[in-house]
Structure 1
Amino acid sequence: MSTSAVPSPKTTEVAAPKVPAYRTDLDGLRGIAIALVACFHIWFGRVSGGVDVFLTLSGYFFIGSLVRHTIHSQSSKIGLGETINPSPRMERLFRRLLPALYTLLIGVAILTVVVIAQTRWQNIGNEILASALYYQNYFLAGNSQDYLAASSVNSPLQHLWSMSMQGQFFLGALVVLHLLAGTIKYLGRRFDGLTRPAAIRAIFGIVVGGVALASFIWAQYRSGIDQPYNYYDTLSRLWEPLVGGLLAIWMPAFRVSNRIRGAVTIIALLLIATCGWWIDGVAHYPAALAWVPVGATLMVIWSGQVADNQPLPSPNRALASKRAVWLGSLSYSLYLIHWPLLIFYLTWRQVDHANFVEGAAILIVSLGLSWLMKRYIEDPMRGGGRSAMAHVRWRAHPRLTYTAAVTVVLVIASLTTAGLIKAWDQHVETTRVDTTNLDPALYPGARALLENAQAPALPPQPTPLGAQSDLPQTFFDGVMSEFDVTTPQVGHYGDPNGTWTIALAGGSHTEMWLGALDPIGKANGFQIVTYVKRGCALTTDVNPPYLERNPYPECAEWNDAVMKDLLRIKPDAVVTNSTRPSISGPGDYMPEGYRHTFDKLTSAGIPVVGIRDSPWPHNDEGPITTPDCLSAGGNAKSCGTVRDSALSSVDPALAYAADNPLFHPIDLSDGICTPTFCPAVVGNIMVYRDIHHLTQTYIRTLIQDFSRQLTAALPWTGPPLTTG
């Protein structure tokens, strides 16, 4: 693809060597990149670096095209038309990207209903809309969804973050560079030198290079602060396509032998092929280590940029082979299709990994579907290609072409899908069951374990759909601090006129106990203030591995602020969690950062009530999302957990309590588990609302046991409440 300038009549610049109008070796590089992406997704559960190759190539082609068109629009002068008006190029961009994407989204919507549990429909529906409108990367980042290896619990649209990022880049680059071209045209009326090819390249290069440098610095900075968000962030990723664009603006024209160029290509291909093994892309991209696949891609682009009378180096000729180019031509469709096909298969089979034979079958089917997508969707909608059907007209409607018909069908289907998603969201809202007044004789919940209460055969409450919204009141009141918040948001519950005060402080596993503590406070005349933050336990540890995010500096800042406030107001007690699941094995433990926090509070004369964390559902295959498991046909046992795999035989907080008289442990495990097993449903009530949080419905059935243990620790909170 030529990057040379057309000389102006007013300049003596020498044009760069001419090169082929189309780089088929880069199509072959696309083929290698998509093969790596698909294979690593299917078999190895790692990031390959193939996406970074795509991003770099996208910038090289897209920005290069914009710059060349600006220079060649009218000799050395910037002309009107597409140079200033981006509409024609935007139309081509939409025709190239949207039809295949929307076809995939329609297919995903259909397969979601057929294969995936109803409890996941709402979230996948939201991701369909996010993908269709090209903000899927920020939807995933905002929902704190790390880019995880493929399994049955993954979203079938997780991979579309990169499509959204590229779409944002294309649109932003198109607008900014066309505005820049318009500015050059306007100023060129007074300063003729600005419209010379060299000046145009210099201006575009300075702007693109400056933004790329700022983006890279931002990516490097954010990698140490919030890497899960950084991975998806367009601002952090921009430098990858922009450095490709820089190479299109300025291509080094060194006179180098083909032997050296070939060696450069081989080294680059080895780096691209192997970097997925020795770089953890999820943990390090798009910061400095992303230069490995990005830099290797730039090396391949440069090594194949030869003059007309010079043959391509042998490795580049291999990339330009028929099979490699054919695979590269399918790269867009294959990228779209392979991941959801893998996720739907794993979900249907109820497994988390595909073996070699299954993976090979998924690849073959993906290739076949990709060819069909390209043949009947991509090529016709782009305005031709090899497909003769692009211009087929029906006799009854002579103006209705194949392209127009497919467009109409996709638009109607997309609108219908969006409408169904909205209707499903409304259905989920209306299917919420008020479980606050369930008949305790029919729905004894924890009493079935604690008191051997009998439960008749009834469908459990809440329903799997309703469980998703069975949340603590703090969520609805907006006093649960989100991940990026460092200033405590204080909620007020219990008896507002109470003379005693309990501070409920910690993460979501502390927050969920408000469902028991609030009614106890109202009945016994003490007030409750809440300091709760998502994924952030009350700890002195900075970025410990047990937190939901790592690193998580906002948690440390929030903890410092909460501790200062607690020491200032001196509540009559602090209630928080005292244990967590063990990181390296079965059972649970008390982290050292918890101990130091308890030491600080009790040293100030503030009693601490430590609630043992509830068991986190899991089996040999991994974590269990209870509503999904039950919705997919599971039961209390198949969706449950062996007790000693989640809980140690003795509450780990007891040893600390023996040395600190102001620390009072509470253990509600016997109200959640039998001596050997923790069922998913107890006393006709679903125990968990997600992967490890108890439903508020179930917590309300633990009020009596909670109140009894709380009164034993803090007599002023009694007398114990009773239920039934």
Structure 2
Amino acid sequence: MFKSRPSATMKWTEDSAVLAGASTQNAYRDDIQGIRAISAIMIAVYHIWMSKVSGGVDVFFVISGFLMTGVLIRQIQQHDRIRPLVFWGNLIKRIVPSACTVLLFTLIAGYFIVPEPLWSQLIQETLFSALNLENLELMRRSVDYLARELPPSPVQQFWALSTQVQFYLLLPPVLMLALWLGRKMGAPSRKPLLVGVGLVALASLLYSIVETAREPVSSYFNPAARVWEFFTGALLALLLPRIHLGRGLRNLFGLLGLATLLLFGLLAPQGSQFPGYIALIPVTAAVMLIVTGSGTQPSVASRWLANRHLAGLGRISFGVYLWHWPLLAFALEYLGTSHLDPLQGLLIIALAIALAMATHRFVEEPIRNHKYAARRVWVPYAIGLLLLSPVLASAATWKYYIRNVVADERGSNAALAGSADFAPAEVQISAGQLSQAHLITAKIILPASYQGNCHQQITRAEVVYCSYGDTSATTTVALVGGSHATQWLPALDRIGKAHGLKVLNITKKECPFGATEGSHPSCFEWNRQLIDTLAELRPQVVITNSTTTTHPKTREYVPQAYLEQWQRLEQLGIPVIGIRDNPSLGFDPATCVARHRDNLLACSKPRGQSLADWDPALEHLSELDNLHLIDMSEFLCTAEQCLTVTHDFLMYRDGHHLNPRYVLALSGRLGERLSQIMPEVFRR
């Protein structure tokens, strides 16, 4: 901590009065509680019924920056320095009790309500939320194509709290550094604070605009793209004593700010990219309301916001925000719907308010107001660890259990025999005999290529490959393409070991053998390099996908880019075996099965909605001498329906990737068809 020197040049001059004025104006204000109350209710309303951004979180961020900077200004005024440990300790007493209460409730309730395939996600995000890193975890998930289809977890609302806590960690060092630099240069106390805070806000805003346009999904959770909202509030806390508005302007700006706050979410276009420049609108509304509510003559809007009912609700708005989301998530899951009717939604809001009041009364206040909590600087930190321990212990225990289930399931998969007599898919109505372990591990156990550096990243163009099967063999088979190709690796690995074949996995995320429209630019370069790699490796055969079913508006077809790559291999004298693509379902089969154990037809899809009436690749057999085709669709669909469970096997791990366990069950059938096509390679 930086202490001022006793010399006169380091004492507060006329700017100390400004800071004192700022601390006074930043003190408790009922109108700000009213703003927080409206923001919390708006967030809940938009989450429940509109599935849109309300702007309420952005307003929360501005208010947090304004109020917390006021706290630090009062520290400067009272102690001639910033005391970060005291500042953070007080925040722990304010935040941790409610946060840990909600997290522990969500974890316990989640065990009984959340489907087994989503358990791992809930545990993972609970741990990140407890450590105030949920926003960073959601950023990672947003760019992880295997996690994109996962539904929002019951703790996803903690991304905003994680962002706030990260700002609270950043604010004292920024202000301390600005004060220290100002004193070194002999500058007045206020100016370096204004410059430091202003520069951080401006840099973050510019970054937010650029990054939101480039990566809109991950930017929503990116703290660097959000910090300008907090620092706008901080800047306002420093400038507010210098802002003087007449009564007319106060009333005009107050009503304009309130109208903007209430109407922004309704008028903002669906799918607006947040935060970016559009977040300037709710941020400006928050600034106008804070400014017009300051001083001895607050605006008409501010007096309305300060009424006792809104102010009372504002005092528990933090709890309302935390509670509404898991209640909503659990209600949707329990009712088996994606939308609530008006009465159900109102019950969620009423219950969130009731739980927030109880948490505030029986958890927050006793801890925050107890005398022992103020005796030592370290006491709040000890309290925080004590409250955090049950959450971390519960999550860690559950995670340990799942880890053991995964280990057992891997062993079971290794022992699974892939019979050449495995029957085609048959309709199965009940999942009563389906092991819970299969559901728990459906999204966890992946083909071996996902480990290490064997399945190239989306943005990388370098060709990488790993050896499977009989890695010492001289006869080589290359498995080439995207994730719909590498999903067959478990079966080919077993076939390779049984027949003395080295299986080279040469795959890349979201990149088939033949880059199609919409592929990442690196996919085109990867495909160009891949031909050179295959020319050098000279495998006996290349195995890839012959069709695609993943285009959202088109039924199964053969992209022209696939044909062009096969033609290049024909020129190299390398045979191609194309495996017909599996159906894309458009829903998550594992969670669907967990929800509809006694009615599995609810988790099926009409065959004609995904697969063509006949294999579209067949018409190209006469054009390419090196092309051979395998159609495994009879093991995925009946004549009418594409299934998700058959013969007590869960067939998919997500909406368009096969479950490795089911692929292993099909290894005998796949091996039989490969040996019929190329006996000189697969009968050894």
Q: 1:405 Cα deviation (Å)? A: 13
1:650 and 2:656 correspond: no
| 1:3 corresponding residue in structure 2 | none
1:479 and 2:454 correspond: yes
Going from structure 1 to structure 2, the CA distance change for 1:20 and 1:279 (only over 3 Å counts) comes to: closer
Letter paired with 2:94: R
TM-score (norm 1): 0.80
Going from structure 1 to structure 2, the CA distance change for 1:65 and 1:679 (only over 3 Å counts) comes to: same
Q: 1:462 Cα deviation (Å)? A: 6.6
Q: Mapping of 1:346-365 within 5 angstroms? A: 346-365=332-351
Aligned residue among 300, 323, 332 for 2:309: 323
Aligned residue among 507, 511, 515 for 1:540: 515
Tell me the SS of whatever aligns to 1:250.
helix
The CA distance in 1 between the partners of 2:312 and 2:28, in whole Å, is 15
1:448 and 2:434 correspond: no
Is the 2:33–2:311 contact (alpha carbons within 8 Å) kept by the matching residues of 1?
yes
1:43-87 deviations in Å (ceiling 9; x for gaps): 1122222111111221222234324533x246xxxx25xx1x311
The CA distance in 1 between the partners of 2:460 and 2:226, in whole Å, is 24
Q: Mapping of 1:333-352 within 5 angstroms? A: 333-352=319-338
1:423 and 2:400 correspond: yes
Q: Mapping of 1:706-721 within 5 angstroms? A: 706-710=670-674, 716-719=680-683
The CA distance in 2 between the partners of 1:488 and 1:66, in whole Å, is 53
Aligned residue among 490, 503, 506 for 1:515: 490
Is the 1:608–1:664 contact (alpha carbons within 8 Å) kept by the matching residues of 2?
yes
Is the 1:102–1:410 contact (alpha carbons within 8 Å) kept by the matching residues of 2?
yes
Q: 1:494 Cα deviation (Å)? A: 3.5
Tell me the SS of whatever aligns to 2:657.
coil
Q: Mapping of 1:166-565 within 5 angstroms? A: 166-182=164-180, 184=182, 187=184, 193-194=186-187, 199-251=188-240, 253=242, 255-279=244-268, 284-305=273-294, 307-308=295-296, 311-383=297-369, 410-411=387-388, 413-432=390-409, 434-436=411-413, 447-449=422-424, 459=434, 463-483=438-458, 485-496=460-471, 498-541=473-516, 543-544=518-519, 555=523, 558-559=526-527, 561-562=529-530, 565=533
1:610 and 2:578 correspond: yes
Going from structure 1 to structure 2, the CA distance change for 1:658 and 1:363 (only over 3 Å counts) comes to: farther
Tell me the SS of whatever aligns to 1:214.
helix
Going from structure 1 to structure 2, the CA distance change for 1:203 and 1:585 (only over 3 Å counts) comes to: same
The CA distance in 2 between the partners of 1:431 and 1:420, in whole Å, is 17
The CA distance in 2 between the partners of 1:457 and 1:89, in whole Å, is 55
Aligned residue among 696, 702, 717 for 2:666: 702
Aligned residue among 126, 140, 143 for 1:142: 140
Tell me the SS of whatever aligns to 2:220.
helix
| 1:47 corresponding residue in structure 2 | 53
Letter paired with 1:109: L
Tell me the SS of whatever aligns to 1:47.
coil
1:224-279 deviations in Å (ceiling 9; x for gaps): 44333222221222222122222222348455433333333333333333333454
Tell me the SS of whatever aligns to 1:609.
strand
| More helix as a share of residues | 2
Q: 1:615 Cα deviation (Å)? A: 1.7
Is the 1:636–1:682 contact (alpha carbons within 8 Å) kept by the matching residues of 2?
no
Is the 1:506–1:533 contact (alpha carbons within 8 Å) kept by the matching residues of 2?
yes
The CA distance in 2 between the partners of 1:553 and 1:171, in whole Å, is 38
Letter paired with 2:228: W
Q: Mapping of 1:26-65 within 5 angstroms? A: 26-65=32-71
1:640 and 2:604 correspond: yes
Q: 1:42 Cα deviation (Å)? A: 0.6
Q: 1:155 Cα deviation (Å)? A: 0.9
Going from structure 1 to structure 2, the CA distance change for 1:360 and 1:462 (only over 3 Å counts) comes to: closer
Q: Mapping of 1:123-134 within 5 angstroms? A: 123-134=121-132
Letter paired with 2:666: L
Letter paired with 2:653: R
Going from structure 1 to structure 2, the CA distance change for 1:431 and 1:291 (only over 3 Å counts) comes to: same
Between the aligned residues of both structures, percent identity stands at 29
Letter paired with 2:404: H
Is the 1:223–1:284 contact (alpha carbons within 8 Å) kept by the matching residues of 2?
yes
| 1:669 corresponding residue in structure 2 | 633
Is the 2:402–2:440 contact (alpha carbons within 8 Å) kept by the matching residues of 1?
no
Is the 1:543–1:556 contact (alpha carbons within 8 Å) kept by the matching residues of 2?
no
| 1:549 corresponding residue in structure 2 | none
The CA distance in 1 between the partners of 2:656 and 2:258, in whole Å, is 44
Long gaps (5+) in structure 1: 1-6, 384-389, 394-402, 545-551
Tell me the SS of whatever aligns to 2:157.
helix
The CA distance in 2 between the partners of 1:321 and 1:29, in whole Å, is 11
Is the 1:134–1:167 contact (alpha carbons within 8 Å) kept by the matching residues of 2?
yes
The CA distance in 1 between the partners of 2:571 and 2:299, in whole Å, is 74
Letter paired with 1:480: H
| 1:386 corresponding residue in structure 2 | none
The CA distance in 1 between the partners of 2:436 and 2:398, in whole Å, is 25
Is the 2:605–2:641 contact (alpha carbons within 8 Å) kept by the matching residues of 1?
yes
RMSD: 3.8
Is the 2:254–2:300 contact (alpha carbons within 8 Å) kept by the matching residues of 1?
no
TM-score (norm 2): 0.85
The CA distance in 2 between the partners of 1:563 and 1:213, in whole Å, is 47
Tell me the SS of whatever aligns to 1:589.
coil
Is the 1:120–1:628 contact (alpha carbons within 8 Å) kept by the matching residues of 2?
no
Long gaps (5+) in structure 2: 1-9, 374-379
The CA distance in 2 between the partners of 1:370 and 1:484, in whole Å, is 44
The CA distance in 2 between the partners of 1:313 and 1:704, in whole Å, is 77
Letter paired with 1:338: H
The CA distance in 1 between the partners of 2:472 and 2:204, in whole Å, is 53
